[in-house]
Amino acid sequence: MKRFSNTVVVVTGGNKGIGYAIAERFAQEGARVAIASVEKQVENAASELEKATGGTVMPVVCDVSAIDDVKKLYETVDKELGSPDVSVQNAGIITIAKVEDLTEQEWDATMDVNTKGVFLCCQEAIRYMRRSGKGGRLINTASGQARDGFIYTPHYAASKFGVMGLSQSLAKEVAGDAITVNAICPGIIKTDMWDYNDRVWGGMLGDYAPGELMAEWVQNIPMKRAGEGKEVAGLVSFLASDDAAYITGQTINVDGGLIMS
């Protein structure tokens, strides 16, 4: 029997990058998975995942910063797949700008998706988990910038520090319901987001050609390489498993040793 058979999992931002790898891991291990994204591409991603894993993967178009969309997401999951057992709040955005150029719109959009979106999804997931009486797992994607804010991204760093604090607070509130809440801090992972980071930071920090800044940063990682989405998915699947039933309120780095705290 696969580890997550009879388990319903929600993954926001599940159409690409880390979220796609997380959804793939759960589907491989027998879960019924819903992937959510504001992008229509989520439908193609779900089809690809079903073909690759032989599992059940349902797409839902959802803006995690909009409460009505979030409510509809969990209502749809409950109706089509069953009450959610695991909810992975992974949707996120980033922009990079000098402080004098950073707009209020960028600040608000980043906080809305990265922090409020995590809260709204946790809030709805908790309602269903409490109603089912089975407990559950909430896993929130923070960032290495929840540990150490970086230049030209104060809004992103603030949003991810917020995810860490939110996770700790909720963990204390729902522990009595057998719901665990943990956060993860991915470091440099091979994703489209990190291609963007390399290109934009590279242009702002010096005359770097594409890929050069990333290569320089990787040399600061003790393991001397960027991570893979599947390596983040391995941590998430552990936190969702029975083996992690006594772990809650924690923020765990998955970054090859880049930040050791």
Catalytic site positions: 156
Give me the phi and psi of 89, to 5 degrees please.
Answer: -90, 95
Helix (H, G, I), strand (E, B) or coil at 12: strand
Sign of CA dihedral 209, 213, 214, 218: positive
Token digits for 65?
């910063």
208: Cβ contacts below 8 Å, ≥ 6 apart: 198, 202, 216
Task: Please give the C-alpha separations between residue 7 and each of 82, 85, 101, 136, in angstroms, as whole numbers.
Answer: 9, 6, 45, 10
Q: Under a CB-based contact definition with an 8 Å cutoff, are residues 138 and 179 in contact?
A: yes
Structure tokens at 60: 């839902």
Torsion, Cα 257 16 92 182, to 10 degrees, reads -50
Rounded-to-integer distance, Cα 254 and Cα 133, Å? 31
